Amino acid sequence: MGLIARALELEGIATTLTSWNAGRTRILMPPRATFTRLKRGATLGRPGDVVQQRRILEATLALLAQDAPLAPVLLDEQDE
């Protein structure tokens, strides 16, 4: 996804990415990204946790207001 995001940015389309796998995603250097400490399959929050999902989504979308490239943002979201 990071490579696709970079290609879209070159065409003038702002992108952002959320990932649970910071190590692998950093290698791809997406223009804007947020990372969580959640499990695979719960990238945008735990199932049924609407409050957490909204926090992650809003933090990720807020990056679109900033010029890229940005350093990845580590969100304080993790499994309980």
1-53: pLDDT as tens digits: 778 888 899 999 999 999 988 888 888 888 999 999 898 889 899 999 999 99
End-to-end, the C-alpha distance of the chain in Å comes to 27
pTM: 0.83
Cis peptide before 72 (omega within 30 of 0): no
Strands (DSSP E) found in 1-80:
17-19, 33-37, 73-78
Residue 11 buriedness (CB in 10 A; 0-12 / 13-18 / 19+): exposed
